[in-house]
Amino acid sequence: MKAIFINGSPRKTWNTHKLLESAMKGAADSGAETELINLYDLNFRGCVSCFACKLKNSKTNGLCAVRDDLRPVLEKALNSDVIVMGTPIYFSYPTGILREFVERLLFPVMTYSNDENGNRIRAIDKKFYTATIWTMNCPESLAPKLNYPLIIETHSKAIGMVMGYTEDLCVYNTLQFTDYSRYEANMFDGDAKARHQAEHFPKDLQAAYDLGKRLVAKAKGE
């Protein structure tokens, strides 16, 4: 049982990374072999629309044909049962690099053909248990006004459709700087942010841990 964790944040010791580490611990405690990949360490682009994966009798078997730093990561993801992605929200959307990863993961697995019953054929006949952990400055109460639930649902719907199963974990009102007084950011109350972090982030870490544990249990059929 393998579980892979994909960090779509450039920061390695901050919110998204910490939550992924917690999810990874949950998965390991459920008996999974785990690995965390930092996308910003890799040199790759999104889908280049080469359609090698869409050719009749394509030999790609669900793996993107483009040979770059991402290919071994995609190979590992396809050999995993659980795939947990993490991304900060940047200007209302997941980071560009996380989108590039998702394009390269999903497109070769999906096909444009239906079987005789009208069900979409997938290049890999396997259910992946996936999730996305979202972190953002935005407090939970403001998220609907900014359409975040719709954006998150739209992004994740494609993942669920292609990979078989998906969940989202949203972590709001994250701490962005250690010391707010050093930055031009008077729309934020640094003390209130720190208080929120101290009170809520441990619960978010627990939710991430539970997510990792639950996905592995589901993948095991428990």
Ligand X SMILES: Cc1cc2nc3c(=O)[nH]c(=O)nc-3n(C[C@H](O)[C@H](O)[C@H](O)COP(=O)(O)O)c2cc1C
> Site residues (CB under 6 A) for ligand X?
9, 11, 14-17, 88-92, 135-138, 174, 176
88 vs 190 by CB, closer to ligand X = 88
90/180 with CB nearer ligand X: 90
Residue 142 CB, nearest approach to ligand X (Å): 8
Q: Which of 32, 138, 135, 133 shows the shortest CA–CA distance to 79?
A: 32
Nearest-5° Cα angle at 87, 112 to 82: 60
Return the number of the residue (22 or 135) whose C-beta is nearest ligand X.
135
Q: How far is the CB of 13 from ligand X (least distance, A)?
A: 9
CB of 9 to ligand X, least distance (A): 4
Report, in Å, the least distance between residue 146 CB and ligand X. 7
For the four alpha carbons of 119, 123, 129 and 131, in that order, the dihedral sign comes to negative
CB of 131 to ligand X, least distance (A): 16
Is residue 19 within 8 A of residue 204, CB to CB? The reply is yes
* In contact, 107 and 53? CB cutoff 8 Å: yes
Taking the C-alpha atoms of residue 4 and residue 91, their distance in angstroms, rounded to an integer, is: 26
* CB of 20 closer than 8 Å to CB of 133: yes
CB-nearer residue toward ligand X: 130 or 176? 176
Nearer to ligand X, 165 or 188 (CB): 188
Distance CA 77, CA 87 (A): 17
